[in-house]
Amino acid sequence: GLTSCATCDGAFYRNVPVCVVGGGDTACEEAVFLTKFASQVYLVHRRDSFRASAILAERALKHPKITPIWDTVVAEYIPDERGEMRAVRLENLVTKEERILEVKCVFVAIGHTPNTVAFQKALPTDKAGYLVKKHGSLTEIPGVFAAGDVVDPHYRQAVTAAGQGCMAAMDAERYLTGCCGEGTHSD
């Protein structure tokens, strides 16, 4: 009942109410995606407006199955007798009022921070902290390759990370064997 991937887990919550926590692009996208499955999507945000792009915010706000809940945070996850999600206790940050919202799952979409701190002195990163690649999996340092969640701000899926990992392994093999191509950093 608690996840960060609507694409992975949304279909498990057909015809039941769910909650998305966040107010950026990811939260609005996930909320709209979940309307394909859930009976109702509550979009809980700690502010009084979304930080998402105008088009994504508008799409979420206009959808009949999405209900925004402003100035609010999830204060507690409430399980049923089997330990599965039954509800959340919400707290309004302005009024301090609390209420119980019956949902079967909470999708957390409050941002993604790549775990690149260990590499930031050696490799360039973009403004969001993702490693910058030259092309393929090549980095600025010969013999160092990057793949997966540290370079991918868009898909953030295990299957895409695994695919990138495979490509990085192939580039590394080319580098180690001295074979021509992208893995050599010679082009």
Question: Quick one: DSSP state of residue 33?
Answer: H
d(CA 51, CA 119): 29
Residue 54 pLDDT exceeds 90: yes
Q: Is 21 helix (H, G, I), strand (E, B) or coil?
A: strand
Q: What confidence tens digit (pLDDT) does each residue in 148-165 have?
A: 888 988 777 778 889 999
Residue 79 pLDDT exceeds 60: yes
Give the domain ranges of the chain: 2-108, 117-184
Q: Could you tell me the pTM of the whole model?
A: 0.72
- Assign domain 2-108 to a CATH class: alpha beta
d(CA 5, CA 1): 11
Q: What confidence tens digit (pLDDT) does each residue in 84-129 have?
A: 999 999 999 999 999 999 999 999 998 777 888 888 889 999 988 8
Question: Identical fold at 2-108 and 117-184?
Answer: yes
Look at residue 4 in the predicted model and tell me its pLDDT: 85
- pLDDT above 70 coverage of the chain, percent: 96
CATH architecture of 117-184: 3-Layer(bba) Sandwich (3.50)
Active site residues: 5, 8-9
